[in-house]
Chains A and B, each alone.
Chain A
Amino acid sequence: MRVIPAALLLPLILAGCKREARETRLDPPVAEALGGVRVMANGISGQPPMVNAAQGEPYRNNAYQLAQGKRLYEWFNCQGCHADGGGASGPALMNGWWRYGPDAVSIFVTLRDGRPNGMPSFRDRLTTEQMWQLTGYLQNLGATVAATAAPSRNDAMQTRPAENRAPAMGALPVSPDR
């Protein structure tokens, strides 16, 4: 009888570990392995590096990595074209519509190589780890359900609900074909 409550608690406990661990300095082999992305010929999707899964998908689940992604979003002028996710000269990132697909590899490749319609390449400006941090943050920005690990509001002008407050999608995304 006593085992059952413990068994219920265990996943919660482990989730807490993964969410809160703070890896401030990446081992060099891991950092190098993060670049091992295999991309499909059309530049969309592919296979993420194995080390992501081995580490427990930190760029999706870890609060610290997501918060770092949010800092990078401001530091690298993403707001200049994409505002706080609402879009300006660049498309919106918070409406749940992904031009090149919602998976992490597509977003990572967008950051690394740029895209034809004006998205610059950040290959020479961000480390691979930073690109993954941004990728995880962007997936959170355009997510349908707010994650516990999602970052909270910035100490800045309030432009939209924080990522941990409201899911990104209000209405269903609209396909350009319609």
Chain B
Amino acid sequence: MRLAALPAVVGHSITPVAAAVVDRELGQPWGFRVTGWAVAALLAMALPGNVGAAEVPPAEKELTPASVGQLRLAFTFRTHHPGPATQAPLADGKTLFLLTPFPHTLYALDLATPDATVRWRYTPEADGTARGRSCCGEGQGGMSLEGGRLYVNTLDGRTLALDAANGAPAWEVRTADPSSGESLASAPLPAGGKLLLGNAGDRFGVRGWIAALDAGTGRRLWRLHSTGEDAEVGIGAGFRPLYPGDDRADRGVASWPPSAWQQGGGGVSGPILWDAGSGLVFHGTGHPAPLVPDQRQGDNRWTSGLFARELETGRARWFDPLNSHDLYGLGATASSLLLDRDWRGAPRRLLVHPDANGHVYVLDRGTGEILSAEPFVPVNATAGVDLATGALRRDESKAVRRGRMTRDICPASPGAVTGASAFLPETGLLYIPSRRLCMDMEARNANYIRGTGFTGANLRLRPADGEGQGALVGWDLEAGRPAWTVPERFPLSGGVLATGGLVVYGTLDGVLKALDARSGAVLWQFQAASGILSRPVAFRGPDGHAQLAVLAGSGDGPEAEIDRRDASAEDGMGNVLRDLPRSPDPGVTLYMFRLP
């Protein structure tokens, strides 16, 4: 019965959306667009298997493996923005908030109306310089909702607070400067009356930082960096170094060649987590700059690692160097999860972090001790993690040296995972949207020129093996190995939603999938008109029915002007995405599904 309801096709091409449904375009009256696929969809819906769907559904319906097959496309909302869309929509009972990529427009859609009218819309000022600061599907700002306010980070370095009811701006501050290459890539985190945010710009040699603003006024309370002297990093009395060497003073200067830390990178471009119980804030720092390791000999503290800081002052409690002297530009900014679970018999407060270096790190979030680190994708650059020192056991043949080409380094540079993972306690599985890629890396020279790319390495990516360039890994947390893996043709960059026994995620070629969380079987699919780089969201609509929303738009329309005949385009991803079909309708579009 579920299969007969599939209106889409699984295959190599992205086809225009069947539209025997409302297609809501901004500012235009209702219209219908019927395509051949719509006819097929109508026919499919007319098949005997669907007769049961005409029965009167119960008043409330949850999204479960049993019911997911009945998901219907309720409407699409096209923003005509070229993309790429990385920020998921936020649902708040009656309103759905949508943030387009840069230049941003913030929409508040009224879920109470069947066609989701726009209640208000806000377009912040945009500094065009930032358009050239984001690459390859990286995040472009973000928003979060707290206490009736929307807090927005824009790519061009503004943080604003708006009243969620009417879009009236409360305050706006300039937090990053795009002329140096700095940008804001992720959503701010409201925590205990403060707003936490970090900058991006590792590839431009921007020194990373994390800052806390007062959520009410926007005034900056503290800002601490990822490189530099202890006072500027927040290393002080409360810091408990985990590994030998980190107890020395000013490691953020001493582990670099003189003054190289000033262009050291380490941006806090990923999500920040807050544990109200312990009052600690957890975040990862990005990779050091430049990519070529010979120009920054030393351990390069405090980049490519995980920090725990006190919320009130920002002072660091502990630091885990996951990729010390990062050779491959991986960083440690992939999403983490805070879990309170039993670990090997004893209840512990955990931080689970699937890292770009291909290992799932399970840490005790109070002390930072690494409890487990196992690989979830093919890895050959390292042979595991030495739990005593936290260091990776590196393979010398995969070392990167200036003027030399090192081949087949796995995992490849954007990392084995970027998007948000999800965890379901009832299955005990961690769902990781992974990339299974290897790369050839040729390190050359990088000259620091403010505002230009400070990388110094040529990258060329390729599939790790014949089994798909991406995979949704169902990772058994306790056992430390995959329970199942669903291979994907293209690398996965969007986040994963896990709810009600289902795992939902979107792929680069626009397929939105729902898997059974226990077995990994594909239960439902939908073909969008453009690639999906954001996390799907599920919520209860005003009428009590479960709804699923996803923002599609991979940004590979004509405006992107990427030529994939150059294998090093898009930081080497160009080589891997050559077969990616062009989106028939590349603009950023919201797809809303509901259970009838």
- Please determine if A and B sit in direct contact within the complex, based on CB atoms under 8 angstroms apart: yes
Q: Which residues of A contact B (CB under 8 A)?
A: 74-81, 83-92, 94-95, 97, 99, 116-120, 125, 156-160, 170, 174-176, 178
In the bound complex, do residue A77 and residue B566 qualify as a contact, i.e. CB atoms below 8 Å apart?
no
Is B460 touching A159 in the complex (CB atoms < 8 A)? yes
Bound Cα distance from A90 to B136, whole angstroms: 10
Say which residue of B132, B134, B452, B562 sits within 8 Å of A86 (CB atoms): B562
Q: Would you call A120 and B565 a contact (CB within 8 A)? A: no
A94 pairs with B568, CB closer than 8 A: no
Q: How far is the CA of A53 from the CA of B150 in the complex (A)?
A: 58
Q: How far is the CA of A175 from the CA of B559 in the complex (A)?
A: 8
Is A156's CB under 8 angstroms from B566's CB?
A: no
For B203, list chain A residues within 8 Å (CB): 80, 89
Residues in A with CB closer than 8 Å to B431 are none
Q: Max chain A CB contacts within 10 Å: which of B446, B562, B563?
A: B563
SS class of chain A's interface: helix, strand, loop or mixed?
A: loop
A117 to B442, CA, bound (A): 29
Whether B449 pairs with A157 at a CB distance below 8 angstroms is no
B130 within 8 A of A: yes
Residues in B with CB closer than 8 Å to A85 are 563, 566, 569
Bound CA–CA A156/B132 (angstroms): 26
B574 cross-chain contacts in A, Cβ below 8 A: 83, 86
Determine the chain A residues whose CB is within 8 A of the CB of B451 once the complex forms: 120
Q: Which B residues between 546 and 572 are near A, CB-CB below 8 angstroms?
A: 558-571
7 contacts between A and B (CB under 8 A): A74-B444, A77-B447, A83-B566, A84-B458, A84-B566, A86-B569, A170-B565
Q: Which residues of A contact B135 (CB under 8 A)?
A: 81, 88-89
Distance of B585 from chain A, by nearest CB (Å)? 12
A77 contacts B570, CB within 8 Å?
A: no
Within 8 Å CB of A87, what residues of B?
A: 560-563, 566, 569-570
Are B565 and A94 closer than 8 Å at their CB atoms? yes
Interface residues of B (CB under 8 A from A): 128-136, 178-179, 203-204, 405, 440, 442, 444, 446-447, 449-455, 458, 460, 558-571, 574
CB distance from B80 to the nearest CB of A (A): 12
Given contacts A88-B136, A94-B565, A157-B460, contact A80 B130 (CB under 8 A): no
Q: Is there an interface contact between B571 and A120, defined as CB atoms closer than 8 Å?
A: no
Given known A85-B563, A87-B563, contact A175–B458 (CB-CB < 8 A): no
Which residues on the A side are within 8 Å of B405 (C-beta)? 157
* B129: contacting residue among A80, A95, A116, CB under 8 A: A116
| Chain A residues whose C-beta falls within 8 Å of the C-beta of B563 in the assembled complex | 85-87, 92, 94-95
B7 to chain A, nearest CB (A): 27
Which residues of B lie under 8 Å from residue A84 when comparing CB positions? 458, 566-569
CB distance from B103 to the nearest CB of A (A): 10
State A118–B201 Cα separation when bound (angstroms).
Answer: 13
> Taking CB as reference atom, which chain B residue is nearest A92?
B563
A79-B565 contact, Cβ under 8 Å, with A86-B570, A157-B442, A176-B558 = no
Give the CA-CA distance A99 to B561 in the complex, in Å.
10
Q: A75-B447, A118-B178 are in contact. Are A92 and B569 (CB under 8 A)?
A: yes
Complex contact A118–B128 (CB within 8 A): yes
Quick check: A76 and B452 within 8 Å, CB to CB? Answer: yes
Report the minimum CB–CB distance from B273 to chain A (whole Å). Answer: 27
A118 partner, pick from B130, B560, B561, B562, beta carbons under 8 A: B130
> A79, B566: Cβ atoms under 8 Å?
no
B568 and A159 contact, CB distance less than 8 A? yes
Known: A77-B447, A85-B566, A92-B569. A157 touches B131 (CB 8 A): no
Closest-by-CB residue of B relative to A77 is B452
- Beta-carbon contact of A157 and B568 below 8 Å: yes
Docked complex Cα distance between A90 and B134 (Å): 8
Q: Is the CB of B133 within 8 A of A156?
A: no
Q: How far is the CB of B578 from the nearest CB of chain A, in Å?
A: 11
Contact B559 A176 (CB under 8 A): yes
Q: What residue in chain A is nearest B130 (Cβ atoms)?
A: A118
B447–A86 contact, CB under 8 A?
no
Known interface pairs A80-B455, A176-B559. Does A89 touch B566 (Cβ–Cβ under 8 Å)?
no
* A77 engages B132 (CB within 8 Å): no
Having A80-B454, A95-B561, A157-B405, one finds 19 other A-B pairs with CB under 8 Å, namely A76-B452, A80-B446, A81-B135, A81-B452, A83-B568, A83-B574, A84-B567, A85-B566, A86-B563, A87-B560, A87-B566, A89-B134, A89-B203, A92-B561, A92-B563, A97-B561, A118-B133, A120-B450, A160-B565
